Amino acid sequence: MPRPVGIVNTALGLWWLVALGMVSGVVVVVAGHVLRGGAIMVLTLAGAGVLRLLLPARRVGSLAVRSRTYDVVVFFGLAVAMAVILAALDLRPPR
């Protein structure tokens, strides 16, 4: 029986969006734009938290690891932690 055509593979869900966002952020950091790349990663993690909060588990697929509350807290916690680290960075050239 053929699978229904849709945007998301239900087995994997939307994890590929998070992976794409994180890889994009790392590429931007490697290119020399640390704050921009970090911001992309922070927004990706926060977006994953929003997706996990709003969408049912069958739609988010692999983003659903534990309970909805636990997953959302972890995604937003990682986003906040990364934002704090980015804010603490001193990227001024040495004297």
b vs e for 29-50, b when ≥16 Cβ sit within 10 Å of the residue's Cβ? Answer: beeeeeeebbbbbbebbbbbbe
The more confident residue out of 90 and 88 is 88
Q: What does the pLDDT average to over 34-62?
A: 92
pLDDT of residue 90: 85
pLDDT of residue 12: 65
Asked if 10 and 61 count as a contact pair (C-beta separation under 8 A), the reply is: yes
Q: Give the C-alpha separation, 74 to 91, whole Å.
A: 28
Q: What does the pLDDT average to over 41-51?
A: 96
pTM strictly above 0.75: yes
In the chain, domain spans: 15-88
Name the pLDDT band for 25 (thresholds 50, 70, 90): very high
